[in-house]
Structures are given as C-alpha cells and as structure tokens.
C-alpha cells in the first residue's frame, strides 16, 4: 500500500528532485487528516477549554479531553487521568525533575542514566544534581551501542533514587531492555523514567507491561503537530509531586491568603494549553491505529534490514549502532569525509538526512567522532527511495573522495 498519498509534503520536490524524507527520527511528516484536524479546530470550534459554558468551549473541551482517553488506550494506562499534556519529551522530563525529583531526592542521592541518552535526558538531571548536591551516574555501553547490563546492575546502589533511560536511541537505533531495567529498579526500590520519544512511533509501548513510574514522548515524532507531548505518571507517584507551574487551570481555589490546587492531571497543566496540537495528536493516534502499530513495525523492520544490507557494502563506510535489537535508524560516517558534506550534497538530490551530533554529544565522545550522518525511516518510506539514496550516496562519496 502506498501510504505516501496520505502525506501532502511527500509529493513535493526539493532542488528539482522528488523529496525523499529520511529524517524521521528528528520529526515525522503529518498526514492530511492531522492537518485537516488543526484547520477544523480553528475554523469551527476555536475556544479555550475547561473555562466556558458556551457551546464552542464545551466542544473544544470535549475534543481536547477525548485525546486523553485515546492516549491512555494507546499506551495502556489504567486511567486517562494519568496522562499529562506537555510541550514534548523535553518538557515532560523537566516536569518530572521539578515536580517529583526535586522534593524526593536529597544531597548524596544518585540518578542513573546511560551513555547514549539525548541531551534532554541528561541536562535536566545535571541541573537538579547541582541544585541538590546529588550525583549523576552514567552507565557505559559497548561498541555495538548496547547498555552493559552487568555494569548497570553494579551501579545501582541504595543511593540510586531514579533511573532515566531512553527506550530507543535516537542516534544508534538501539532498542534498550527497558522491562529488565524496570525490574531492576523495582528490586532496588528506585523509580524509573522511560524516554519513549523514539519508540512510540515504531512499535507498541505498554506502560502497564513495563510497570514504569514515568514515561514521556513527543507528538511530533508520531505524525502529530509539534509543541505537544505526553507525560505518563504512575498513580503512586502523583501524591509525591508538587505543582510544576502556577496559574490558570491548575488551581481549585485562589485567595491572597492561600491557594488550593486542582486534582491531577490538571494540577500539572497550568495555563492555556496547545489545544489544536492536542486534538491533532488524537487524530494522529487514530491514524496509526487504523493502520496498526504492528503493521508499521513490520514495514519499518523490513526497510531497515534492506537499507543496512545495502549501505554496509559501501567501502570505507562505518555504521555506528549495531545492536542486536534495533529500530529504523542508520548512523554512519565515511572515512575522510565530513558528515555535513554528505548531507549537503544529498540535499541537492532531494534526500533529507540528518548530520551532526544529534543532541548526543557524550555519545559522540565515546565513539571519538564529531558526528554522524543519520538516515531514519518511517513506514511511508519505500525501498525504491532507499535504492536512490544508496546510489546517490555512492556518487557523493566518489565526488568528495
């Protein structure tokens, strides 16, 4: 089936060539139904939520809150009230750092992360550790880009209060054993946050099965608009969280003497939210459900295998990320050629890839490289596009070499 017909931008041209979009790990393209949902909101029900008795406000609130139900079902949460709307993965992690970790951790406590984390799952914890006098502990990986689980076990101590780990590496494509890590966290009486930004578009993510305390992801990775994301919170953790921001909608009653707070999740959703984005997220998840996340996984696995077999035959090309379990990302360098130059020349042929450190500078330091070129696939990509990419890459290397 040709899914590209659902995505208007994929019919466009770049530098006179048909667009081949291989930058899906940075952001996905949006189907027409999502674009239409945004237009429909602004054209027919534009109004603020939760605050009006008039019909437009009631309709907007109904559409908005229905998303909470759809997201809850999509990730397997017990109740929709465990779903907090955020600006994205980064925002979700910062909320956990400020609303939960800041009042649960003390001086000398430890937060455990891994070498492959995105900056969004490093910097907030560094800032918190500096503030509290806590310690950030980093678990090493092997050359294939896999967490050294024996080392992880050794690094967990009675001072470890939180493990924060990516489900899928945005740079390497590594699928981490987060269920096993969650079990380790529970055995050692510490909490776990899973960064699902790169896993949520590719395969089924079930918080009930994972039994995690927190899970975050961004809508724009899963065909929804930018500026909207999800923070899932286990019920027990809500009672340990303080409000992240003050303002409208997170309050129950305000006086100059004292303010009482709303119940969760609204307690953590201060101010007018990204209503259109939330409605767009609902539409995107419905679109994914109509195709089937299992079908998406099957298509993308086939694309990844096909691409890796072809690209690995190119002389002097090095793939970074050769984990046994991997999602649809290929990060590579070519001896003697800067990744930026590869990306620039491929762009002239209409091929969009990502170049740089991918917000994983410590990971680049581990591999002793400045950055990589990264091709990342979605279910709407085609083998014929991969063929053109491989041929173009060979031509580019020949030209630059």
Domains present along the chain, CATH in parentheses: 3-31+292-400 (3.90.1150.10), 34-289 (3.40.640.10)
Stretch 35-57: mean pLDDT, rounded? 91
Looking at 52-148, list the stretches that DSSP marks H as alpha helix, in order from N- to C-terminal side: 55-75, 89-95, 102-104, 123-132
pLDDT at 264: 72
Phi then psi for residue 233, to 5 deg, are -130, 130
Query: Is 129 noted as a catalytic residue in this protein?
Result: no
How far apart (Å, rounded) are the C-alpha atoms in residues 318 and 325? 18
Stretch 90-109: mean pLDDT, rounded? 97
Residues with Cβ within 8 Å of residue 305, at least 6 apart in sequence: none
pLDDT at 281: 98
- CA neighbor of 358 nearest in space, from 320, 322, 399, 302: 320
Please, which pLDDT band fits residue 251 given cuts at 50, 70 and 90? low
pLDDT score of 375 more than 70: yes
Residues with Cβ within 8 Å of residue 284, at least 6 apart in sequence: 30, 31, 34, 219, 222, 223, 224
Give pLDDT tens digits for 326-360: 999 999 999 999 999 999 999 999 999 999 999 99
pLDDT at 279: 97
Phi then psi for residue 227, to 5 deg, are 80, 15
How far apart (Å, rounded) are the C-alpha atoms in residues 289 and 283? 10
pLDDT score of 252 more than 70: no
The continuous run of DSSP H or E covering 44 comes out as none
Instruction: Of 46-60, 309-323, 348-362, give the lowest mean pLDDT range.
Output: 46-60
Burial of residue 286 (number of CB atoms within 10 Å: 0-12, 13-18, 19+): middle
What number of CA atoms fall less than 13 Å from residue 171's CA on the CB side?
Answer: 26
CA 356 vs. chain centroid, Å, equals: 18
Mean pLDDT of all residues belonging to the chain: 94
318 three-class SS:
strand
How far apart (Å, rounded) are the C-alpha atoms in residues 264 and 261? 9
pLDDT score of 248 more than 70: no
pLDDT at 244: 79
CA 213 vs. chain centroid, Å, equals: 17
Burial of residue 335 (number of CB atoms within 10 Å: 0-12, 13-18, 19+): exposed
pLDDT score of 253 more than 60: no
pTM of the predicted protein model: 0.94
| List 139, 190, 212, 359, catalytic entry | 359
């Amino acid at each position: 089936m040709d899914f590209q017909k659902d995505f208007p931008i994929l019919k466009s041209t770049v530098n006179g060539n048909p667009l081949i979009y291989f930058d899906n790990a940075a952001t996905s393209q949006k189907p027409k139904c999502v674009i239409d949902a945004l237009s429909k909101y602004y054209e027919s029900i534009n109004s603020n939520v939760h605050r009006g008795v008039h019909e437009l406000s009631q309709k907007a609130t109904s559409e908005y809150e229905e998303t909470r139900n759809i997201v809850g079902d999509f990730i397997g949460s017990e109740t929709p009230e465990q779903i907090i709307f955020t600006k994205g993965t980064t925002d979700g992690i910062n909320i956990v750092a400020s609303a939960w970790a800041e009042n649960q951790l003390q001086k000398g406590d430890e937060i455990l992360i891994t070498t492959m984390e995105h900056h969004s799952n490093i910097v907030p914890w560094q800032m918190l550790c500096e503030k509290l006098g806590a310690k950030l502990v980093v678990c090493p990986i092997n050359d294939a880009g896999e967490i050294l689980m024996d080392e992880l076990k050794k690094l967990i101590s009675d001072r470890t209060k939180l493990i924060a780990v990516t489900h899928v590496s945005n740079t390497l494509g590594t699928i981490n054993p987060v269920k096993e890590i969650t079990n380790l966290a529970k055995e050692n009486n510490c909490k776990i946050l899973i960064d699902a930004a790169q896993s949520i578009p590719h395969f089924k993510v079930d918080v009930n099965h994972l039994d995690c305390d927190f899970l975050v992801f961004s809508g724009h990775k899963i065909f929804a608009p930018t500026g909207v994301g999800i923070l899932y919170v286990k019920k027990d953790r809500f009672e340990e969280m303080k409000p992240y921001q003050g303002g409208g909608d997170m309050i129950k009653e305000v006086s100059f003497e004292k303010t009482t707070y709303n119940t969760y999740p609204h307690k953590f959703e201060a101010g007018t939210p990204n209503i259109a984005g939330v409605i767009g997220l609902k539409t995107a998840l419905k679109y994914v459900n109509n195709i089937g996340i299992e079908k998406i996984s099957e298509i993308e696995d086939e694309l990844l295998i096909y691409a890796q077999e072809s690209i690995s035959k190119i002389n002097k090309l090095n793939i970074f990320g050769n984990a046994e379990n991997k999602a649809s990302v290929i990060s590579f360098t070519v001896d003697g050629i800067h990744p930026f130059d590869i990306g620039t020349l491929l762009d002239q042929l209409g091929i969009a890839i990502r170049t740089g450190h991918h917000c994983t500078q410590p990971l680049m330091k581990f591999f002793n490289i400045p950055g990589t070129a990264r091709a990342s696939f979605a279910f709407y990509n085609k083998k014929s596009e991969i063929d053109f990419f491989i041929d173009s890459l060979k031509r580019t290397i020949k030209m630059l070499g």
